[in-house]
Amino acid sequence: MRLTDFKVFTFDCYGTLINWETGILNALRPVFGSEPVRHSRDEFLAAFARLETAQEAETPEMIYSELLAVVHRRLAEEWGIAATAADHRAFGSSVGNWPAFPDSAAALAYLKQFYKLVILSNVDRASFAQSQKRLGVAFDMVYTAEDIGSYKPDLRNFRTMIDGLRRSGHPVGDILHTAQSLFHDQAPANAVGLRSAWIDRRSGAAGSGATPQPPEGVRWDFRFASMAELVEAHRAELRG
């Protein structure tokens, strides 16, 4: 199997193209950073992963900016940190400030020459619109949790995207789903028959960061440490 076998690259955004762990920690700092250092970076991220995943399952219809505000409130309550409603809202609206990985924009610009590019993301439209400015490319289709009414790893999100691409002339065999989170993306991609590339942004790091542990047996077809590494693999294929 080769990257050049595909016609459509579908992407998770946050964790894959946008550095959401840095973004999350930066957005937590105004409230949590003033407290004595009682929790490590990994503890922050693991708590976020647990609370966010639970909230997405509990309120799948809630748009992401509002859901993040609830997660912020629950984290503050759990850790006994004083925070106001304004603090919660500020965290909820922080997605547009989360930085892109340094290689994302250039990699997307390169891939745009060869593939249709599609987003499948657990955010709302307004938040993604801010992130898209950082990525610098016009995506051919964008599917958000707000559009679909559920959050990955719900298979509904993947089936909605697959159906949309099929209607545009692209069967599932044309699609390579490209993502960092084995929990949110590769595992459900396995379930719906999508080929996938794992962008292992946490390569060499302990734990799973801001995502829950994936189920056992999750599979992927390609593995790269970065988007830049994926691009180099594609160039190598073209060189033969």
* Catalytic residue numbers, as ranges: 12
Give the three-state DSSP class for 149: coil
Q: In angstroms, what CA-CA distances link 216 with 11, 79, 110, 196, 236?
A: 22, 31, 34, 16, 32
Tokens in use for 12? 């998770």
Taking alpha carbons only, the member of 98, 103, 97, 233 closest to residue 176 is 233
- Measuring CA to CA, which residue among 178, 177, 182, 227 is closest to residue 208? 182
Alpha-carbon distance of 159 to 181, in angstroms, equals 18
Please compute Rg for the chain using Cα positions. 18
